[in-house]
Amino acid sequence: MQTDSSFTFVLFGGTGDLSMRKILPALYEAHRAGMLEASGKIIAVARHEEDRGGYLQWVNEHVKTHVSRNGVDENAWSSFVDRIEYVKLDLGKAEDFVKLRDAMQDLPGTRVFYLATGPSLFVPICRALASVGLNENARIVLEKPLGYDLRSSNAINDAVGEIFAEGQIYRIDHYLGKEPVQNLLALRFGNALFEPLWRREWVESIQITIAEELGVEARGDFYDNTGALRDMVQNHLLQLLSIVAMEPPHSMDSDSVRDEKLRVLRALKPIDPRDISKVAVRGQYHAGVIRGTSVPAYATEPGVKTDSATETFVALKVEIENWRWAGVPFFLRTGKRLADRVAEIVVNFRAVPHSALGSSALRPGANRLVIRLQPNETIRLYCLAKKPGEGMNLSSVHLDLAFDQFFKEGQMEAYQRLLLDVIHGRLALFVRRDEQEAAWKWVEPILNEWAASGKPKPYAAGTWGPAAASAMLAQHDTCWLEEEN
């Protein structure tokens, strides 16, 4: 379906890994589906000595391999690359931004500036754009991480906020664009079935996991100064938690949704530094085997200090101090070099108070909702049913919402949805500044305590992390989903 929104999309970091793997493939998919205004242009910006032809050759070599599972439609690809221009730009040279302004002079529509760069470049880029008048009729997209802690995050937000209004700033978290997260909102707020159960009286515990098989790859220098708590918990996991736990908004407009998420973040029970060892587990992977392949220890990865105390695994017990969720533990977990690549939300409902059908109806997890974000995007509801045959013997069964079976049209990837939202000016799936501040305030006591304490607990690559993460759940008579299976 064609839109009527003309735009110029300027991609800083146009030769970088994120641009090749995610942003340009997402724009291509939107183009192929007819979701981009025909007059819309893409200007890639980088400091490499390339002309347009050289850049398009680079795009052909590095973007096509990341395009959808259906492969490349050569006709659509040809018309897509016709949209792309290239501008060599040195951030230290004001005249280069004049060159960018001149390249955009006669291009119509909204200006979108996507900063697929390190956060240290966010402020210099924004100031340079303003110096040549490119901050008007514009939207700015900021990738994570936005700062190293609350103070540095506020410094970036303050500086960017002097140039762009809050309504022009799109702080992206791609997990919020995933189809199952959107369907979680639809299930809760579009049906009478789930919302009455979505509270402390009926929910025993909730788990949110983002697990990766990969290590730090070529990002050792960056990761060793960041760690899993900053890289994943402060943004992705707390954003997913706020979506799961939020109150029904009065509408789906951007501020209504984000107001409710903010209330959750502000209701998080503060972490007492004296209790951190009870509610927070940090780990670091050692050498191990993943799917038959030996992988090295984190401390031997390129760019990582040999005596590094950076965590590659975090598990947390989180509580929300409000009427809906008081007393319900939320268990958050993320890590690198784990046994599988999976992102999922598990809602464990309470067992029935009395069963005339045997003890299986009383076991924890007999009723649960599993929202799988990756690799296969599904929502699965588990319940008990009678086994065929003699006697009343119960067995666990599940009802599936498998999107590819119910909906014939292809699913939209998270970045595709979010980039279209930027172009159309929809802010609901982007993080507002006060949300970000609330998340940093909650995380900081953990960061400070870990900075002052010893090393993370070791775990072998290819496992599910330190045993302490399982012990933390055992204190609440529960376990991680894969341990039960």
Question: What is the predicted pLDDT for the residue at 360?
Answer: 65
Is 47 flagged in the annotation as binding? yes
Residue 177 β-bridge partners: none
Q: Which tokens belong to 4?
A: 């009527």
**Residue 414 clears pLDDT 80, i.e. is over it:** yes
160-183, pLDDT tens digit by residue?
999 999 999 999 999 999 888 888
Per the CB < 8 A criterion, the answer to whether 399 and 195 are in contact is: no
Confidence of residue 2 (pLDDT cuts 50, 70, 90): very low
Is 90 flagged in the annotation as binding? yes
Is 319 flagged in the annotation as binding? no
Is 174 flagged in the annotation as binding? yes
286 classed as catalytic = no
With pLDDT > 90 as the criterion, what percentage of the chain qualifies? Answer: 69
428-478, pLDDT tens digit by residue?
999 999 999 999 999 999 999 999 888 999 999 999 999 999 999 999 989
**Residue 3 clears pLDDT 50, i.e. is over it:** no
Confidence of residue 69 (pLDDT cuts 50, 70, 90): low
Is 408 flagged in the annotation as binding? no
The full set of domains in the chain, from first to last, is: 7-143 (3.40.50.720), 176-410+432-484 (3.30.360.10)
Question: What is the predicted pLDDT for the residue at 218?
Answer: 80
Is 22 flagged in the annotation as binding? no
Question: What is the predicted pLDDT for the residue at 1?
Answer: 36
Distance between start and end Cα atoms, the chain:
44
Question: What is the predicted pLDDT for the residue at 22?
Answer: 94
253-302, pLDDT tens digit by residue?
889 999 999 999 999 999 998 899 999 999 999 999 999 999 999 999 99
292-336, pLDDT tens digit by residue?
999 999 999 999 999 999 999 999 999 999 999 999 999 999 999
3-state secondary structure the chain: CCCCCCEEEEEECCCCHHHHHHHHHHHHHHHHCCCCCCCCEEEEEECCCCCHHHHHHHHHHHCHHHCCCCCCCHHHHHHHHCCEEEEECCCCCHHHHHHHHHHHCCCCCEEEEEECCCHHHHHHHHHHHHHCCCCCCEEEEECCCCCCCHHHHHHHHHHHHCCCCHHHEEECCHHHHCHHHHHHHHHHHHCCCCHHHCCCCCEEEEEEEEECCCCCCCCHHHHHCCHHHHHHHHHHHHHHHHHHHCCCCCCCCHHHHHHHHHHHHHHECCCCHHHHHHHEEEEEEECEEECCEEECCHHHCCCCCCCCCCCCEEEEEECECCCCCCCCCEEEEEECCECCCEEEEEEEECCCCCCCCCHHHHCCCCCEEEEEEECCCEEEEEEEEECCCCCCCEEEEEEEEEHHHHCCCCCCCHHHHHHHHHHHCCCCCCECHHHHHHHHHHHHHHHHHHHHCCCCEEEECCECCCHHHHHHHHCCCCCCHHHHC
Question: What is the predicted pLDDT for the residue at 375?
Answer: 86
- Given 31, 48, 62, 236, which residue is catalytic? 236
Question: What is the predicted pLDDT for the residue at 431?
Answer: 96
- Share the mean pLDDT of the chain: 91
Q: What span, in angstroms and rounded, lies between the C-alpha atoms of 459 and 30?
A: 41
Is 178 flagged in the annotation as binding? yes
Q: What span, in angstroms and rounded, lies between the C-alpha atoms of 274 and 311?
A: 19
Is 435 flagged in the annotation as binding? no
Question: What is the predicted pLDDT for the residue at 26?
Answer: 95
Q: What span, in angstroms and rounded, lies between the C-alpha atoms of 361 and 352?
A: 7
With pLDDT > 70 as the criterion, what percentage of the chain qualifies? Answer: 95
Confidence of residue 364 (pLDDT cuts 50, 70, 90): low
Phi, psi torsion values for 287, nearest 5 degrees: -60, 150
177-226, pLDDT tens digit by residue?
988 888 888 888 988 888 899 999 999 999 999 999 999 988 889 899 99
Per the CB < 8 A criterion, the answer to whether 140 and 164 are in contact is: yes
10 Å Cβ neighbour count for 393? 12
